[in-house]
Amino acid sequence: MAEINKGEMLYEGKAKRLYRTDNPDELIMEFKDSLTAFDAVKKDTLAGKGAINNQVSALLMGALGEAGIESTFIELLDETHSLVKSVEIVPLEVIVRYEAHGSLCRRYGIEAGTLINPPLVEIGYKNDELHDPFLTDEIAALMGLATLDEIARIKYLALITGEKLKEIYLKQGVKLLDFKLEFGRFAPRTDKWGGPGQPRIILADEVTADTCRLVDAATGEKLDKDLFRFDLGDVGEGYKKLLAKLGG
Ligand code: 5GP
């Protein structure tokens, strides 16, 4: 793995692990082969899934970076590892929707497939025990999860990220229906001049078929984690097709 030293494991989540490097501004992110849904009530392992998601996230975050949208992604290290910026994660799940599906339909009885224009942005509390409850901006601020100014910035970044993601996917014949993002506070200890960098909110975590609802634009075939969540088909094949479409 290049010449970067994989140090102590700092965090293990359902789909990824994070390790220290010798640079306090940078971590190594490892994508695991685990598949989980419904707050890990449904679990499985899919050989090769970590490698696919590592590459999909690198391709998408790389393209977002070229479009001027900063994320934690720095570079691919090997099949399942990427070098990322070390951030303080804002414990919010930020969901952007272009069509009604999933929990929006379950919560409100909205017909699946209803177009949403302008897109809807929702925020939820990232907390499995509470099942990631949706929040108002005011409740999130009351809980100290983020300030109202940070939430406004996060929602704006989620919308512009979505516009770019929709365009990237559509060029490859994939339609983005909705997605979840996470953001982090990045306060680099060392910028390119050697001093402390400008603290800022940037896109964090991953952008993959685990976090986006996607269909093949021509056939309507599903290409995302709903294949696993609702036993709708071969999830491995769906993930492989998505990576191939994105040029991986
Ligand atoms: P919904 O609220 O309809 O279940 O999900 C909306 C979108 O956000 C879907 O694309 C879904 O994959 C993503 N999403 C929502 N919550 C989570 C979560 O806890 N983990 C992941 N990986 N994706 C989520």
For residue range 33-86, list pLDDT tens digits in order: 999 999 889 999 999 999 999 999 999 999 999 999 999 999 999 999 999 999
pLDDT band at 234 (very low <50, low <70, confident <90, very high): very high
Residue pLDDT, tens place only, 135-160: 999 999 999 999 999 999 999 999 99
Closest C-alpha residue for ligand 1 atom 2? 103
Q: What average pLDDT is seen over the chain?
A: 96
Our answer on whether the CB atom of 212 is closer than 6 Å to any ligand 1 atom is yes
Average pLDDT over residues 91-101: 98
Q: Are 60 and 168 in contact (CB under 8 A)?
A: yes
Average pLDDT over residues 5-15: 96
Interval between CA 188 and ligand 1 midpoint (Å) = 29
Our answer on whether the CB atom of 93 is closer than 6 Å to any ligand 1 atom is yes
Residue pLDDT, tens place only, 105-124: 999 999 999 999 999 999 99
Our answer on whether the CB atom of 103 is closer than 6 Å to any ligand 1 atom is yes
Average pLDDT over residues 20-37: 97
Chain-centroid distance, C-alpha 187: 20
Q: What's the whole-model pTM score?
A: 0.97
pLDDT score recorded for residue 142: 98
Q: Are 97 and 177 in contact (CB under 8 A)?
A: yes
Interval between CA 187 and ligand 1 midpoint (Å) = 28
Can you give the three-state secondary structure of the chain, one letter per residue?
CCCCCCCCEEEECCCEEEEECCCCCEEEEEECCEEEECCCCEEEECCCHHHHHHHHHHHHHHHHHHCCCCECEEEECCCCEEEEECCEECCEEEEEEEECCHHHHHHHCCCCCCEEEEEEEEEEECCHHHCCCEECHHHHHHCCCCCHHHHHHHHHHHHHHHHHHHHHHHHCCEEEEEEEEEEEEECCCCCCCCCCCCCEEEEECCCCCCCEEEEECCCCCECCCHHHHCCCCCHHHHHHHHHHHCCC
pLDDT score recorded for residue 141: 98
Closest C-alpha residue for ligand 1 atom 7? 179
Residue 248 has pLDDT above 90, yes or no: no
Residue 3 has pLDDT above 90, yes or no: no
Residue 233 is encoded by which pair of tokens? 């088909």
pLDDT band at 2 (very low <50, low <70, confident <90, very high): low
